[in-house]
A and B are shown apart, each in its own frame.
Chain A
Amino acid sequence: MAVSEPIMRRMRAKPSIRMVASLSMAVLVTLMVVSSTFAQSSMGADQAAQPKLPGERAMPGEAGGPYPDPLEPFNSAVFNFNIDVDQWVVTPVAKGYSYVMPVQGRQSVANFFRNIGVIPRFANNLFQLHPYNAANELARFGINSTLGVAGLFDVADSWFGMKQHNDDFGLTLGHYGIYSGPYVMLPFLGPSTVRDTVGLVVDGCMNPMSWLLPWYVTVPADVGSAAINAVNYRSLHPNQFEEADRYAVDLYGAVQDAYMQTRTAELKRVAQ
């Protein structure tokens, strides 16, 4: 039958999925072993010996801190590449796109992409044992897809006050104590850590289309939709990069710290 053939072809293509899955498992096991031995890297070996002045130890309520960055040469190169892609490709396209599309339309596109990304949010809320939030995500999807015209309008929030509970597999891993691993700058996707990259891969595998359709359909479709989402997001936040650059003495460090602090705050949020 025409329907079962793509599924049969998909199941024959299983070895590549097996490879991805085993690679993710290897990375995960490594991280679990590492987290069982130490939780946080120290700033330097000589710091532990001397007593600390005020300002060296964390002031009450302080957050963040210098982060271990063993992959720094790679991260720097990818960071510069990302900036170039943003400056020469994404921003011009976003400018033209925002000229053509009114801001409400662009907001609707953003809502659409947020809506179809419900499965990782639902699954991870369940994994972290927040059944109410998981059911809330499912209900939001149902309401927005019907009343909200295929997710273009977030009526679940504006009419019923049902807030979105963001979640991903990286947060689930962190919630259960997996060490974050070194900071990694991903090409096109931006800042991440080793744990969060594994989370991205796992969340990507939750897309049902990738199990039903052959890879030469889903990969271009995923890349295309990610590109549209990126251009749309950039058009909704035109000054974000320029703002960060204006106030940062070291832009790489600013982005790194902003990402790590945001993830720490997210972990605290899902721990409640």
Chain B
Amino acid sequence: MTSGKWRIRAAGMFLGLVHAAILFAGFVAPVEPTHQNRDFPFAPPTRLHLLDAQGDFHLRPFVCGRDLRLGTFFEYDENCADHYPLRWFVNGNEYRIAGLFTARLHLFGVEAPGQVFVMGSDNFGRDVFSRVLYGGQVSLAAGLLATAVSLCLGALLGTFSGFYGGWIDESFMRFAELFALLPWLYLLLAVRAFLPLHITPLRAFVLVVAVIGTIGWARPARLVRGIVLSARTRKYVLASRGFGASDAHILRRHVLPHTYGVLLTQAALLVPQYVIAEVTLSFFGLGLSEPMPSWGNLLASLQQYNVLVSYWWMFAPTLALVVLSFGYLLVADALQQHLQSASV
């Protein structure tokens, strides 16, 4: 395998792992994202211990019990008299995989009443780690779907415009130029401004996907148009016409195959951008709101000064976001290099 292909595969695998973790959020997360633990709001990430209070070494790491420090708001002391061993592949609450299958198996967990907050807890005592995973499902789904919308729209319009040319092409290019010109965040807010503020979560999701998707169609459309335009003038297209090929045949066999590479690269570039768009919208309260967790509204609590200052683990979704973006960036880079070398 050439190094280019290797890089794509490595990056792809890394990304696949991240997606798998998010898809199987129910498995990886120890508890439900909505499970409130009012006794432990804003608890910092749980520490794992190997030595207990008596100084004995345990092979299996364990978690200590926690008590609220008296007289403080949210500070905790560890009480290692109670210890809860960390177990792998435990049975916990029921969850659904991709909305279809139910299961009870979790990657890890501890016995009640111990909790393992890998990334701490929020103001309702909900496990941030679980919420990040479940929120990832929503944010990632939004990003993927919006990307699909943009690419479909862009590919359709770009192909139509590039293939038929003439005034269709001219007016299309002018139109696309307008969209490409506007700073997308401004446009996003403007469009969002004029849609109802209070709507059901499902509708909000569809809305967010639709808005983000329709704003970004211009760039893929222009790229596809360029490719279609140049492919259309090839002599083998002319030859095809010479034996009576229809437009559909020419598009399917000769023209569109050239666009697949570009569309793939665009997808790798757009997904993280769109996930960030959703996160931004939800962060400002204009996207998805409680109780549907998304990375955006998870981060929204950071807008409060005291949260920002005291509870650093609430930054957890940013880690997930960065990891996701990085993965996609690697894939996009590798794809671009591969395509460049292939087209020579």
Q: Do A and B bind each other?
A: no
